[in-house]
Chain A
Amino acid sequence: MSSSRASTWNKLGDAAYSKSEKVSADLVALTYGSFVREIIKDYEEPDQVNKELEKLGYNIGIRLIEDFLAKSGIGNCSSFEESAEIISRVAFKMFLGIRATVSNWNSEYNSCSIVFDENPLAEYVELPPEYTHSLLYSNILCGVIRGALEMVQIIVECQFVKDQLRGDDTNEIKIRFKEMLQEQVPWNDEE
């Protein structure tokens, strides 16, 4: 990744963030926490809760991408590698106010990690012991990434592999590239 592109993206992220109206992260954390608690009441099984959170995130991702492309000025994401950088440098900053980094590329360049130390969703959260090793509290983020990338024809799988709520040193989402969809002609309405 060339450093000039990286810094361009950093600037785009900063600009989009500073332009937007803001809400206190406390209110977001409070709301998200209450929401997760209700989903736990509904599903009980941590695996089911994780799945539901991912699904909800997906529903956000498919709506959010349009907003993201318009506000950031990024035309499109041409490759998986570039998309990962854009997510961490522009999208994380633009929506969550934090910057993430991309690391752990495998040799085939089809899998990497998005790493971030601050997680506004998980402020003030302490998981009850029975959920510490089973609940992926911020799994909604995996769904957002998957949904948003799907809208630009990139199919991925995301998985939380490190979470500070579980006592890890940082937060890490592993993204695996599955395939690139062909652009559908009917969506290409230029008129």
Chain B
Amino acid sequence: MEVTEETFDFLVTVMVDYFLQNKEVLNRGNQKDDLSIKRKLERLEAIGRDIGRRWLEKLAEGTPHFSTELDKVKFICKEFWIATFQKQVDNLKTNNKGTYVLSDKRFRSLLHISETPDSIGQLEDYIVFPLGIIKGAFESLGMNCDIFGDCSKAPSCIFTINLKEQEQLSGPK
């Protein structure tokens, strides 16, 4: 079954707004507020990770085992990216030491936000959720990582993924 992509965009937008909702009120308050905002964003990222993990498991069902780390990353850049963001990553670079740089010239999550001027958060806030999804996808394939997104040239977005060394995850749930 398929649903129109607008439906998904609307859902994600209200969801991000829901988690950022009290931000304006908080901004007027005292120093504790920064922490609260940080917590809100962390929560949003955690939800994204959970969704990304489970979503990748579903997508990878029936695909043969990945023989190399690069195969896994390629799966994320292509199949996973298409199923989640409607297109594949435009460019993938690696230093072969566990750092991958993925660039998407028209990143789905940023396209919609720039068309919605009444959104609550900053542009950076709106990539926290998709960053979580991507991180969850990496984790689902046993690659624990840190991920940074540079959306200064939105809707283009550059993702830097640093895999953490030798860290074993408990694997898919």
Residues of A within 8 A of B (CB): 17, 20-28, 30-32, 34-35, 38-39, 56, 59-60, 63-64, 67, 94-97, 118, 120, 123
Contact = CB atoms under 8 A, between A and B. Distances in A.
A26 B8 contact: no
Interface string B1-28: 1111111101111110111000000000
A30 B54 CA distance: 8
Contacts, number: 87
Contact of A28 (B11, B14, B17): B11
A112 to B, nearest CB: 23
Interface stretch (B30-38, B43-51, B147-155): B43-51
B65 interface: no
Contacts of B92: none
Contacts of A32: 11
A27 B83 contact: yes
Interface residues on B, range: 20 to 34
A34 B47 CA distance: 7
Interface of B: 1-8, 10-15, 17-19, 43, 47, 50-51, 54-55, 58, 83-84, 86, 116
B83 to A, nearest CB: 6
B88 to A, nearest CB: 14
A87 B84 CA distance: 27
Given A31-B8, A97-B1, A21 B15 contact: no
A167 B58 CA distance: 26
What secondary structure prevails in chain A residues at the interface with B? helix
Contact of A23 (B8, B58, B116): B8
Contacts of B19: 38
A27 B5 contact: no
A59 B14 contact: yes
B2 A60 contact: no
Contacts of B12: 31
Taking each of A23, A38, A97, which has the highest tally of chain B beta carbons within 10 Å of its own beta carbon? A23
A94 B6 CA distance: 10
Given A26-B58, A96-B7, A120 B1 contact: yes
Contact of B6 (A25, A38, A64): A64
